């Protein structure tokens, strides 16, 4: 595995590393791979149209395997880390917590190893069989910028855009004071979720705010976010002085353009009389699904919360079995994860009562238990059965089946 300094000067499209990571995340989803953007990029290397998903998977696995150090290097050597991280994360489907435990790495170190390994795989894939045309002029980031941003990348998550904006505003608050600019905010009435890399998206917002605050003649900045035709529009609206300076139409920086591309965001400038605005537009994701976890082990509730972080689910825990039915009726969750062996009231009784209540019977229940009682659970109306210990991939797949998009 090459170090940061040893990475060769290669030209990669701005979004290629993210596309490779996305394909690895969906490595075993045949239908997803068949329509993946990498198919178009690598069409000449994927053979018959009916085999593109299979061949893309083979190609990705081949390049992951290329990270494997020679057999002469002991398996405990740090040179194995990049290979182990990608292999466990994407080939075996383990989550970050599992890989942390098995490799005895801290979360930040693990994420650094993962970013470097992903970049190396993307670079190798591009050099071997990628398109050779240069990206469109004005949108190609410098190689140094590409490496910096690629190394800062983390997993995409569902984020509240207003929370991200408020965090970015705190960062630029001092800059606004220096320029004597009053910042006003219009909080949206609804929660607007976008699927982004939190680290890079925050840098995009901070960069956009800093860019606008340095425009000549700005006296007030209004920040707002709103739903717009299936998208979320983030608007930075600058009120200019009475006599804006002629010929000062700003140009979006290479960094802003590239960061926007990595997040799937459209970025544009618009100007009207006395007003200039920067628009960021991203796809709106569906509201989070609410999952009620009826479980008297609070550590397990916290573990399930970590498993589902960033996947569009909001977990609520109820540790008192005697209040479980009341909690289901009050919250009306999209689904219930139900333990069986609890104090005072067992899960079978709770499941039976949920399914007998005409107002609750439509809520799918997944029983999670150490007991081997799948048939009993299904006979009482459970929609799914998970045997403890529950793995992250199992839980996610179960919820995907219970709550299809």
Q: Please name each of the domains of the chain with its CATH number.
A: 16-152 (no CATH), 157-283 (3.30.565.10), 289-402 (3.40.50.2300)
Q: What is the DSSP string of 153-184?
A: ----EEEEHHHHHHHHHHHHHHHHHHTT-EEE
> Is the pLDDT confidence value at 14 over 90?
no
CB 169 within 8 A of CB 209: yes
Strand bridging mode 157-160 / 182-186: unpaired
96-131: per-residue pLDDT in tens?
Answer: 888 888 888 888 888 888 888 888 888 888 877 654
CA distance 118 to 200: 16
Lowest-pLDDT choice from 110-124, 238-252, 330-344: 238-252
> Is the pLDDT confidence value at 156 over 60?
yes
Higher pLDDT among residues 146 and 177, named by residue: 177
Helix (H) or strand (E) holding 355: helix 347-356
Higher pLDDT among residues 361 and 15, named by residue: 361
Q: With pLDDT > 70 as the criterion, what percentage of the chain qualifies?
A: 86
Burial of 256 (0-12, 13-18, 19+ CB in 10 A): buried
CA distance 221 to 109: 38
22-46: per-residue pLDDT in tens?
Answer: 999 888 777 788 888 888 888 778 7
Mean of the per-residue pLDDT values for the chain?
83
40-96: per-residue pLDDT in tens?
Answer: 888 778 776 667 777 888 888 888 888 888 877 887 788 888 888 888 888 888 888
Phi-psi map region of 193: left, alpha, beta (phi>0 left; psi -120 to 50 alpha): beta
> Is the pLDDT confidence value at 141 over 60?
no
**What b/e readout covers 136-166, taking b as 16+ CB neighbours within 10 angstroms?**
eeeebbeeeebbebbebbebbbbbebbebbe
CB 24 within 8 A of CB 38: no
* CA-based nearest residue to 291, from 300, 301, 281: 301
Higher pLDDT among residues 74 and 362, named by residue: 362
> What pLDDT does 142 receive?
53
CB 198 within 8 A of CB 154: yes
* Residue 171 confidence class, pLDDT cut points 50, 70, 90: very high
Strand bridging mode 335-339 / 289-294: parallel
Tokens read off for 207: 């960069």
CA distance 332 to 324: 12
> What pLDDT does 153 receive?
61
Burial of 26 (0-12, 13-18, 19+ CB in 10 A): middle
> What pLDDT does 206 receive?
96
Tell me the three state secondary structure of residue 222. strand
> Is the pLDDT confidence value at 320 over 80?
yes
CB 120 within 8 A of CB 82: yes
Higher pLDDT among residues 54 and 290, named by residue: 290
Helix (H) or strand (E) holding 374: helix 374-379
- For the chain, helix, strand, coil in percent to 5 are 45, 20, 35
Q: What is the DSSP string of 249-273?
A: -----HHHHHHHHHTT-EEEEEEET
* CA-based nearest residue to 278, from 266, 287, 262: 266
**What b/e readout covers 102-131, taking b as 16+ CB neighbours within 10 angstroms?**
eeebeeeebbbbbbbbbbbbbbbbbeeebe
> What pLDDT does 4 receive?
39
> What pLDDT does 190 receive?
85
Region 193-197 average pLDDT: 84
Predicted TM-score (pTM) of the model is 0.48
> What pLDDT does 125 receive?
86
> What pLDDT does 267 receive?
92
Region 203-221 average pLDDT: 93
* CA-based nearest residue to 291, from 327, 254, 326: 327
Burial of 393 (0-12, 13-18, 19+ CB in 10 A): middle
> What pLDDT does 6 receive?
38
Q: Contacts from 307-311 at CB under 8 Å and sequence distance 24+? A: 307/95, 307/390, 307/392, 307/395, 307/396, 308/395, 308/396, 308/399, 309/157, 310/155, 310/156, 310/157, 310/158, 311/157, 311/158, 311/396
Compute the residue count for the chain: 405
């Amino acid at each position: 595995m090459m170090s940061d300094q040893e990475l060769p000067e290669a030209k990669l499209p701005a979004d290629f590393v993210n596309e490779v990571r996305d394909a690895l995340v969906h490595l075993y989803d045949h239908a997803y791979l068949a329509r993946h953007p990498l198919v178009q990029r690598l069409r000449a290397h994927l053979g018959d149209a009916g085999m593109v998903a299979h061949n893309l998977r083979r190609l990705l696995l081949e390049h992951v395997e290329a990270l494997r150090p020679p057999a002469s290097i002991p398996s405990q050597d740090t040179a194995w880390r990049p290979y182990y991280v990608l292999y466990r994360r994407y080939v075996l489907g383990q989550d970050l917590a599992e890989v942390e435990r098995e490799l005895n790495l801290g979360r930040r170190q693990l994420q650094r190893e993962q970013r470097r390994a992903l970049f190396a795989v993307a670079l190798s894939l591009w050099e071997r069989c990628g398109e050779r045309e240069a990206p469109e002029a004005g949108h190609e980031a410098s190689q140094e910028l590409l490496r910096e941003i690629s190394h800062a990348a983390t997993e995409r998550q569902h984020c509240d855009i207003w929370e991200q904006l408020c965090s970015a505003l705190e960062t630029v608050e001092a800059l606004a004071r220096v320029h004597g600019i009053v910042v006003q905010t219009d909080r949206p009435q609804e929660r607007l979720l976008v699927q982004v890399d939190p680290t890079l998206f925050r840098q995009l917002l901070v960069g956009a705010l800093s860019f606008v605050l340095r425009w000549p003649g700005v006296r007030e900045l209004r920040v707002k976010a709103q739903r717009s035709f299936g998208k979320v529009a983030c608007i930075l609206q600058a009120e200019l002085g009475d006599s804006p300076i002629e010929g000062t139409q700003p140009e979006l920086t290479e960094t802003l353009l590239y960061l926007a591309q990595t997040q799937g965001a459209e970025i544009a400038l618009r100007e009207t009389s006395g007003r200039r605005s920067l628009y960021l537009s991203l796809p709106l994701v569906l509201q989070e699904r609410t999952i009620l976890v009826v479980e008297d082990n609070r550590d397990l509730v916290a573990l399930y919360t970590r498993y589902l972080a960033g996947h569009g689910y909001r977990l609520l825990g109820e540790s008192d079995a005697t209040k479980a039915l009341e909690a289901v009726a009050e919250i009306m969750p999209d689904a219930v994860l139900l333990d069986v062996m609890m104090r005072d009231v067992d899960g079978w009784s709770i499941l039976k009562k949920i399914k007998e209540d005409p107002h609750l019977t439509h809520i799918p229940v997944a029983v999670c238990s150490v007991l081997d009682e799948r048939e009993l659970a299904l006979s009482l109306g459970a929609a799914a059965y998970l045997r403890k210990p529950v793995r992250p991939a199992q839980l996610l797949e179960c919820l995907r089946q219970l709550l299809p998009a």
